[in-house]
Structure 1
Amino acid sequence: MAERLGIVYTPVEVVDFIIHSADDALKQEFGVGLTDEGVHILDPFTGTGTFMVRLLQSGLIQAEDLARKYQKELHANEIILLAYYIAAINIEETYHDLSQRDYEPFQGIVLTDTFQISRR
């Protein structure tokens, strides 16, 4: 199944590099960072949620922006049901640990085939 669906696990070090590079590029080219309001972040193939989890843990999202990002500006797509559930749990747990708030489900995750979204 992994080969058929093109499943690839990205090493955490690479994930961290990509996240920080994206933040740097946004700041240099557009004068905003990943923490800023209106900057939406999409992981089109979220797997078990590593990109979102590492983003939340990175410190690039300021504490005062964390709830807004989590509730409105973080988006993740996944096609495999088990990975979708694991990603939701991983992202929710990370947010809960960082925010010290009551449990709040992550509404930004969608069980879908990203490649099929624009096809009719």
Structure 2
Amino acid sequence: MKVKEKNNVVVFKKSSEDLTDFAEKIIDQPNVFKDKNIIIDLEEVALRPSEIIPFESLAVLQKKQKKSFVIVADIDFDEVSEEIIVVPTLQEGFDIIEMEEIERDLGF
């Protein structure tokens, strides 16, 4: 797993582990993303929508903490849970987080 931090966003990129182990590694390290927005970069991974289910608990946790959670992946967005925001590119992930930060600042 590779971790990059940019401003108030932590980007986790999958390396060799399977998706469930990858999700568990992230969840087991709350100090890495405390008070940060999260992007899970799966852009280069071929996957089915059902394979991102392990990330739902992390998405819910982030929402409770009033932080954003975005997955970057090339999948059918209509088949993804409404709890998880999925976008096709990393730049769109940063754009979504920026928009959500503005909404939170305005009180929405």
What TM-score, normalized to structure 2? Answer: 0.43
Structure that is richer in helix per residue: 1
What TM-score, normalized to structure 1? Answer: 0.40
Structure that is richer in strand per residue: 2
